[in-house]
Amino acid sequence: MSQATKLSASALKYYFEQDEVAKPCGKTLIVQGTPGTWLDYLECDTPDVLSYLANENAQWQQAGVTPLQNSDEKYDLIIHFATKFATENLSSLGKLSQQLNPNGRWISVVPNKMGASRLKKDIKKLFNEVETCSKSKCRIFDTYSTIDAPLARKWASLGKIKAIKDTEFLTTPGIFSAEKIDKGSQLLAEILKKESFYGSGADLGAGYGFLSKSVLETPRNRIREIVLYELDKRALDCAQQNLADHDKTLFQWCDVTAGTHHERKFDWVVMNPPFHEAQDQSYELGKTFIREAARILKPGGGLYLVANLHLPYEELIRTEFRSHKLLGEENGFKCIFARA
């Protein structure tokens, strides 16, 4: 569970335990949260849950709920865990607020440091009246108000899958680098173009498939298969569309930190490992990706990695791999090749 989701879940618990706050009840939809003791306050049958991240999905499954990735049903209550992506929040607000029953209740929760002021402005534009409350370093917005229906429809349309400007890559709000190609990935792709690929490979944290496409389009490659491992189902669905012209692809919705599964080891791995959380000074997330790459490579296999210059991955790479070299460095990024 991310630090932000933990904060939001604890804020909801403190919020609902207040006597003056109306009990959350009726047919309920939870948008992108995680289970926890806050659920004890819900007075409803099993809620519907929208979840796109494999790790959060697994937590809901353990709590006895099978999440959905889409719902067009109507609800009495929608509890929205807002994210750091403003456009994603707008599209969730727009689409889902239209799914409230008459007199339905909307609750959004967001950590203060994750765009709470922006969300407050947006929520106040959509709903006529909103109660605001601060708890556990989070803001909670609670309303039974009617919505501005034309605005809701406009915001809902922001959630459509569309191509990044001047490219053919399809993305959707909320996934990594949805509005422009990441500079680090771009640098690695330029380097990958000059390499020769064969056999089977993996793309760890594949996003919408940018690096995989770069590898698959290298001239004269003899690639047998490439497995794309990605946490976010929406990104993986985009990857599937972006790589529709290639038939050597496999798509795995999974949490790489929980271990990847494949019957054979790989000849090569490409990755732009995910950002650590700001609080994590040990950079554990990226390091776990590097350990996983070392585990799934055949002896002699190669890892191509791009990372922000300041990330201290070299010591771990020295421990996990036989050798490594710097392939390039530009715009605050470094590309490394490591031999297993």
Ligand X SMILES: C[S@@+](CC[C@H](N)C(=O)[O-])C[C@H]1O[C@@H](n2cnc3c(N)ncnc32)[C@H](O)[C@@H]1O
**Part of the chain binding ligand X (CB under 6 A), chosen from 96-104, 148-156, 191-199, 254-262:** 254-262
Dist CA 3 CA 87 (whole Å): 21
Considering only residues 182, 190, 195, 225, which one is a binding residue for ligand X as defined by CB under 6 A? 182
Phi-psi region of 171 (alpha: psi -120 to 50; beta: other; left: phi over 0): beta
Measured CA to CA, the distance from residue 162 to residue 150 in angstroms comes to 21
Please say which residue, 106 or 176, places its beta carbon nearer to ligand X: 176
Return the range that interacts with ligand X (CB under 6 A); candidates 14-22, 29-37, 120-128, 251-259: 251-259
Selected binder of ligand X within 31, 78, 256, 307 (CB under 6 A)? 256
Q: Which is it for the CA torsion 293, 294, 300, 303, positive or negative? A: positive
User: What is the per-residue binding string for ligand X in 188-207, x denoting contact by CB under 6 A?
Assistant: -----------------xxx
With CB atoms as reference, the residue minimizing the distance to ligand X is 205
Told to check if 240 binds ligand X by CB under 6 A, we report no
176 binds ligand X (CB under 6 A): yes
**SS3 state of residue 139:** strand
Nearest approach, Cβ of 207 to ligand X (angstroms)?
Answer: 3
State which of residues 187, 211, 238, 290 lies at the interface with ligand X (CB under 6 A).
211
Within 138-243, where are the H helices? 149-156, 183-192, 210-216, 233-242
Size of the site for ligand X (CB under 6 A): 19
In the list 16, 52, 210, 313, the residue contacting ligand X (rule: CB under 6 A) is 210
Binding region for ligand X (CB under 6 A) out of 4-12, 42-50, 121-129, 252-260: 252-260
104 binds ligand X (CB under 6 A): no
DSSP percent split of the chain into helix, strand, coil, nearest 5: 35, 30, 35
Q: How far is the CB of 214 from ligand X (least distance, A)?
A: 9
Q: Are 241 and 210 in contact (CB under 8 A)?
A: no
Span from 61-69, 112-120, 176-184, 325-333 in contact with ligand X (CB under 6 A): 176-184
CA atoms within 13 A on the CB side of 215: 30
Q: Taking the complex as a whole, how short is the minimal distance between the CB of residue 257 and ligand X, in angstroms?
A: 4
Could you tell me which residues are beta bridge partners of residue 336?
A: 305, 326
Residues 57-86 that bind ligand X (CB under 6 A): none
How crowded is residue 97: how many other Cβ atoms within 10 Å of its Cβ?
A: 25
Residue 246 near residue 183 (C-beta atoms within 8 A): no
Which 217-236 positions form the footprint of ligand X (CB under 6 A)? 229-232, 235
257: contact with ligand X by CB under 6 A: yes
285 contact partners, CB below 8 Å, separation of at least 6: 257, 273, 274, 275, 276, 277
Per DSSP, 261 falls in state: -
Residues 269-288 that bind ligand X (CB under 6 A): 272, 274
* Cα(210)–Cα(203) distance, integer angstroms: 10
Helix (DSSP H) and strand (DSSP E) numbers for the chain: 10, 15
The nearer residue to ligand X, 122 or 292, going by C-beta atoms, is 292
State which H helix or E strand residue 317 sits in. helix 314-320
Q: Compare residues 86 and 311 and give the one whose CB is closer to ligand X.
A: 311
Pick the closer one to ligand X by CB: 274 or 328.
274
Residues 233 and 237: their CA atoms lie apart, in Å, by 6
Residue 164 binds ligand X, judged by CB under 6 A: no
**Footprint on this chain of ligand X (rule: CB under 6 A):** 176-177, 182, 185, 205-207, 210-211, 229-232, 235, 255-257, 272, 274
